[in-house]
Amino acid sequence: MPKFVRFVMKQIPVKKDPKIMVKNLYFGIVPVTLYKPKAMSASLRKGIIFFHGGGMIFGSPDDYNNFCCYLSKETDLVVLSVGYRLAPEHNAIVGVNDCTAASIHFLKILETYGVDPFHVILCGDSVGGTIVASVCQKFITQPDLPKIRAHVMIYPYLQGLNFQLPSYQQHKNVPFLSRDFSISCIFYSLDIHPSWKTAILNGAHLPPALREKYEKWMSVHNIPKSFKDRGYQYRSPDPFNEDAYQQNQHILWPVNSPLIADNDIIAQFPETLLVSCEFDVLRDDVLLYKKRLEDQGVPVSWHHIEDAFHGVLLTFGGKYFSFPSSLKIVNVVVHFIKNL
């Protein structure tokens, strides 16, 4: 199924913009696509490192060509779109490592592309947003690299602890990313056997001590009442299953669940733009993450798009299949970048 979907997506022609130079490169073994305005600039430009979505099983830089071209043109910056290895052929850590390696390489040669080392932004949608947080965790331990100026995270996946949040209940059957499909993507990318689905869906994989530790960050009380009023019934977790935890504890690692990174890590994150969509099982991940960042003093801009669904950014610039909400998201990102 993943290979078939990738094949279909590759048949979509990639449009060119006469004002943007597009160059396909390799940083080591990692394929990247560079977008840069053709017009000369009197000063160094801002730079964006973009990680595409697709649940770690779909997606490529080509799928986000319209978005990256538009971003480069409207904000007069350089965009590096990273193509990382996908599941099920490779697990999620391989993909994150690819993104980390490509980002480090780019950060070390910014002058080659006329990029200001004080204005580099990490950006991603869906699991690309997850990668933004995961890569930043690694960068914090490497002070020799240019400091990241900001994060842009568009409807990211951020935690594998609680799949009974209000958004998971309210939008569990929404097309493009139902709750079952989101679980399938997570299992594919983290190499978790499907037999653990019920245990993880019902929270049996979380030990009582960790459940108590993370309650202050994962509590549904941190989600605004207006979102819970749209339909939510509290469900207590199933009894702890030791085997479910031992076999799948990597779903709880901060690299795979960035929402539960330690306070001292979160506190070092840069200014962040968070975009959530109403028709999205991951909506409440964003709401919880927003509070986590704010509690640690990280400046946060949050935009909630009421008429949008998960994955809508993929339709941006489409000739026959596009949604107005994709333009809303892009305009939010452009405005944020211009005002940094």
DSSP character for 222? G
Contact in structure between 282 and 182 (CB atoms under 8 Å): yes
Catalogue the active-site residues: 126, 280, 310
Structure tokens of 216? 């202050």
Phi first, then psi: give them for residue 266, nearest 5 degrees.
-55, -40
Measured distance CA(68)–CA(22) in Å, rounded: 10
Measured distance CA(62)–CA(14) in Å, rounded: 7
How far is CA 256 from each of CA 83, 92, 244, 279, rounded to the nearest angstrom?
19, 8, 17, 23
Enumerate the β-bridge partners of residue 50: 81, 123
Pairing of strands 30-37, 78-82: antiparallel
DSSP character for 259? G
- Closest of 316, 325, 248, 302 to residue 50, by C-alpha: 316
How far is CA 149 from each of CA 47, 145, 152, rounded to the nearest angstrom?
10, 12, 10
Phi first, then psi: give them for residue 332, nearest 5 degrees.
-60, -45
